[in-house]
Amino acid sequence: MIKSMTAKDYIKLEDEIGAQTYSPLSIVIERAEGVWLYDIDGRKYLDCTSAFSSVNLGHCHPKLLEVFTKQAAEMTQLSRAFRNTQLPLFFKEITELTGKDKVLPMNTGAEGIETAVKMARKWAYTVKGVEKDKAEIIVCNNNFHGRTTTVISFSSHQKYKENFGPFTPGFKIVPFGDIEALKAAITPNTCAFLMEPIQGEGGIQIPPDGFLKQAETLCRENNVLLMLDEIQTGWGRTGKLFAHLHEDVNPDVLIVGKSLSGGFYPVSALLADKEIMDVFKPGDHGSTFAGNPLGCAVSKKAMQVLVEENLTQNAEEMGNYLMENLKTLQNPHIKEVRGKGLFIAIELDGPARPYCDKLLEKGVICKETQTNIIRLAPPLTITREQVSFLVDCLKTVFEQ
């Protein structure tokens, strides 16, 4: 087949007329299937990013494709001005799987977090009895919850905030995984504690064992909502359906997104029990595309496939297998290898990008985070053979 445009042409076109908000690797992908990405020059790569864990079921899963195309031919977007046949079935699936009474659908992760902030504040004033406009939400240092103005207001990364002020007040930042600091930060005005059970963009940072459980207890004692952002850690990524299940914790508010739809469509959701969700009344909140039939149909199927294909268990098994091998890597620049399930970091004492570039030549795509950390998060459908291929590539790159 003759191609009219080369990789260079595509890159030039994109860079000339697109806003420069990313610094992507210089490969142009034209097709993706399962764990593999194919560039326009016919090269094949093992995807160890899973689009920031939004394609946990692999790219273009055939069962999702079938439901998606069928639904797209029937109805796509209706708004919630009236009802549709897909929304309630999606609600049933997600509440049964998470064990929560109620769900509120949104589109993106950041929008889900914004919604959680509104929910916690309204709960503070109408249930907890906090004085008007005094509600406080505690968050963690090094967090990542999205890029909207309110969400970056409580980021600790200057890069995310610089020149974007003024910021939304009402947030307190405590060190990640420090129970004493959390205890000290709680006041009668605290309505919620928001955290990622494992920080993803922050470099796969895992809190000390038992921290989540202690935080849960502390929140309960102080009538503070425990809100867990499992947008990246959810849907089997860490070897449990949700990362909070490693410590048998029950969050008051659970925020999910990314792989909820298997990567076919932006769908996020908040889950909470009735007494909390019911603070929202008609007219309080909304979003034009939230809960549309196309997103609902494919998300419902994505949750079913995750369960039917035992992908959470596969994440645990393949994660352990990968981790065992990573621990044997001989390279003086490796400071630490850590992770849970298929959510793994190789932390180096210097820049990670040169290693990522070499891995790319070998046919493995991974992207550094925080400049010195390589995040390995392949689709949960990865096979033992594919993990072995990854290990061989890592050995070559790190030990040569």
Ligand X SMILES: *Cc1c(COP(=O)(O)O)cnc(C)c1O
Stretch that binds ligand X, among 5-13, 39-47, 104-112, 184-192 (CB under 6 A): 104-112
Where does residue 281 rank: exposed (0-12), middle (13-18), buried (19+ CB within 10 A)? exposed
**Which of residues 58 and 257 has its CB atom nearest to ligand X in the complex?**
257
Judged by beta carbon, residue 255 or residue 394, the one nearer ligand X is 255
The DSSP code for 246 is: G
- 149: how many CB neighbours lie within 10 A of its CB? 14
Binding mask of the shown chain, residues 111 to 140, with x at each position contacting ligand X by CB under 6 A: --x---------------------------
Q: What is the largest CA-CA distance in the chain?
A: 68
Would you count residue 237 as binding ligand X (CB under 6 A)? no
DSSP per position, 327-357: TT---TTEEEEEEETTEEEEEESS-SHHHHH
Residue 337, strand partner residues: 346
d(CA 285, CA 243): 28
Among residues 100, 122, 258, 300, the one annotated as catalytic is: 258
Contact with ligand X (CB under 6 A) among 145, 240, 338, 340? 145
Is 258 marked active-site? yes
Among 58, 146, 203, 239, binds ligand X (CB under 6 A): 146
Q: Is 144 a catalytic residue?
A: yes
Instruction: Say whether 44 is catalytic.
Output: no
For ligand X, the binding residue among 34, 109, 234, 339 (CB under 6 A) is 109
Instruction: List helix spans (H) across 2-47.
Output: 7-17
C-beta neighbour count of 43 within 10 angstroms: 13
252 binds ligand X (CB under 6 A): no
At its nearest, how many Å lie between ligand X and the CB of residue 255? 7
Minimum CB distance to ligand X, residue 193 (Å): 15
CB 219 within 8 A of CB 244: no
Q: Which of 90, 91, 144, 343 is catalytic?
A: 144
Q: Find the distance separating the first CA and the last CA of the chain, reported in whole Å.
A: 37
142 binds ligand X (CB under 6 A): no
Q: Is the Cβ of residue 339 or residue 397 nearer to ligand X in the bound state?
A: 339
- Among residues 114, 229, 316, 368, which is the contact residue for ligand X, using CB under 6 A? 229
Applying CB under 6 A, the site for ligand X has a residue count of: 15
> What stretch of H or E contains 100?
none
| Catalytic option among 90, 122, 211, 229 | 229
Under rule CB under 6 A, residue 144 binds ligand X: yes
CA torsion angle for 146, 149, 151, 154 (degrees, to 10)? 130
Per CB under 6 A, 52 contacts ligand X: yes
- Output the smallest distance, CB 110 to ligand X, in A: 3
From residue 159 to residue 198, what is the string marking binding to ligand X with x (rule CB under 6 A)?
-------------------------------------x--
Q: Compute the distance between CA of residue 345 and CA of residue 356 in angstroms, rounded to an integer.
A: 13
Instruction: Output 110 or 374, the one with its CB closest to ligand X.
Output: 110
Alpha-carbon gap, residue 326 to 301, rounded angstroms: 34
Contacts of 225 (CB under 8 A, 6+ apart): 120, 123, 191, 192, 193, 219, 252, 253, 276
Q: How many residues does the chain have?
A: 400
Q: Which residues belong to the active site? A: 144, 229, 258
Which chain residues interact with ligand X by CB under 6 A? 52, 108-110, 113, 144-146, 196, 200-201, 229, 231-232, 257
